[in-house]
Structure 1
């Protein structure tokens, strides 16, 4: 019993000592690279603020530019939550897909850029090791116009002019809501970071990216018109951070 108590005391003291050297706040410049069905570089600036006496937990804000490139065929699906789940609220997170309302819009190449304000959460396990999560909240998307085809094998839907082809561009507005209620291009990351020096850190984790395009033509789904199409991509990610 004495050994257990001693081990707990040593662990507690070590935990407290390691917390004493943590920065109360800091800024980072970060370059992340993610890849899978496409290639996604992200350049970000972040300001983190310590919470509590230990400064282990930090919250912060940032600005991030995320690009996505692909020269292979990518299938986008119907985006609006009202169509995919029947609800444009928090309930969309738990609702089943309404398969009859969902079509596919196919693009053969993509180049999309999203500039967003991000929300950041982080916890320091030690002076060197951190774990964190960030997500885009609000911004704009821009990129080149592409031409794609609607693929609606089961529903046999076409664009309102009777064609199956339309021009499409990245959606302009990005807004974090919840699940399919989200609008536009949004990036989020779950990661661990190791500081190899006082200034340089290496991050690794996963990036979950939403890419959204809007077609020039609408598709009639029941009584609603749709021109928004979303691609969701979960990719492994590595990054280099500079602290200042």
Structure 2
């Protein structure tokens, strides 16, 4: 997967250099994913470079915002000694996830197929100290969790949203896309005292293959 990301970045940069054989569009999308009665809204804005015969391929990037709100989701420890430990916030967990994705697509006459991967970004959310904790051997006093601030590709750190999809072009500038989203969210466990905040470890929650749909608008520059 890392090689695929590198390949996409190289293609994107080379396409910029050869702009005389490509066209550029601004892209805006609005939609969301659905899971267990939840709606996880997303919105994005960026640019795509179209190239190849009849401009059938495109590479792009931009900014995507994902809003994740859930109650009593279980987060599992990601590193030793917490691999068998779980944490469940008892109050609603709210995160605003902002990332820069890489986008790759194939464009037919009416059909679009593609994927996108969040590369890097930030997550915002409040600290929570109302927790249910299992298989945790340390002291549970003064513990709290907060969304991990910095995000990196494929859930290696923080929270990311990655999608695979197909789409149908209603008009030249409007496309409906549907597919599956792979959302990974991460919390940082902390011990809070009057003197300092000590980071204890990261706990993650993965949502595999949840359906999503969005409406995408393309405006050629």
Q: Normalised by the size of structure 2, how large is the TM-score?
A: 0.77
Q: For the structure 1 residues 61 and 209, does the alpha-carbon distance in structure 2 shift closer, same or farther, using more than 3 Å as the test? A: same
* Structure 1 gap segments, 5+ residues each: 1-22, 85-99, 219-224
Partner in structure 2 of residue 130 of structure 1: 112
> How many angstroms does 1:164 deviate by?
6.6
Partner in structure 1 of residue 85 of structure 2: 103
> How many angstroms does 1:52 deviate by?
2.6
> How many angstroms does 1:206 deviate by?
0.9
Partner in structure 2 of residue 229 of structure 1: 203
Contact 2:50-2:58 within 8 A present in 1 as well = yes
Contact 1:195-1:202 within 8 A present in 2 as well = yes
Partner in structure 2 of residue 171 of structure 1: 148
| Number of residue pairs matched by the alignment | 188
Partner in structure 2 of residue 213 of structure 1: 187
> How many angstroms does 1:242 deviate by?
1.4
Partner in structure 1 of residue 17 of structure 2: none
Contact 2:66-2:97 within 8 A present in 1 as well = yes
2:47 counterpart of 1:52:
no
Larger radius of gyration: 1
Partner in structure 2 of residue 145 of structure 1: 127
2:75 counterpart of 1:76:
yes
Contact 1:201-1:240 within 8 A present in 2 as well = yes
2:158 counterpart of 1:158:
no
Q: Normalised by the size of structure 1, how large is the TM-score?
A: 0.70
- Deviation above 4 Å: which 4+ runs of structure 1? none
* Structure 2 gap segments, 5+ residues each: 1-21, 193-198
Contact 2:166-2:179 within 8 A present in 1 as well = yes
RMSD: 2.2
> How many angstroms does 1:163 deviate by?
1.7
